[in-house]
Structure 1
Amino acid sequence: MKNITLQLEQLTCPSCVKKIETALTNANGVNEVKVLFTSSKVKVSFNDEVVSGEEIAKIVHNLGFDVLSTK
């Protein structure tokens, strides 16, 4: 298992949190997702044999959110 934290541009609404959580939870290889609304961070635990951190960031980006950095 690996963990990644995505720093997003400011999240503006609680429905954004739900949108991200739903998309990532349904992605193959993702085990746990936690979106921190106040800090605009997304913490993801995933199986790196199934999905990469770059693919996770791309999923979030394709939802319309700017990913500023990944750790």
Structure 2
Amino acid sequence: MTTVKFQLEPLTCPSCIKKIEGKLGKMEGVKEAKVLFNSSKVKAIIDEDKANEMELKTIIEKLGYPVIA
């Protein structure tokens, strides 16, 4: 298991958290996904054999939340 972290542009609503956590949580290989609203950070624990950092970043950005770091 590996922990990956992303910094997003500032989130504007708490429902953003549910949207991101819900989508990442359904991905194969994602053990846990947490979004911190105040800091606009995403932290996920993944199984690198089934998921990778780039896949998560792509999903987040397709949801409309730009990853800045």
Give, as a single letter, the amino acid of the residue that structure 2 aligns with 1:53. Answer: E
Give, as a single letter, the amino acid of the residue that structure 1 aligns with 2:26. Answer: N
Q: Which residue of 2 aligns with 1:9?
A: 9
Runs of 4+ that moved beyond 2 A? none
- The two structures, once aligned, show a CA RMSD in angstroms of 0.4
Identity of aligned residues (%): 46
What SS does structure 1 have at the residue aligned with 2:4? strand
Gaps of 5+ in 1: none
Alpha-carbon distance in 1 for matches of 2:34, 2:19: 12
Alpha-carbon distance in 2 for matches of 1:64, 1:6: 14
Q: Which residue of 1 aligns with 2:36?
A: 36
Q: Which residue of 1 aligns with 2:47?
A: 47
TM-score w.r.t. the length of structure 1 is 0.95
Give, as a single letter, the amino acid of the residue that structure 1 aligns with 2:20. Answer: I
Alpha-carbon distance in 1 for matches of 2:54, 2:45: 13
Aligned length: 69
Q: Which residue of 1 aligns with 2:22?
A: 22
**Deviation by residue 1:3-36 (Cα, 9 ceiling, x = unmatched):** 1111000000000000001000001100001110
Greater strand content: 1
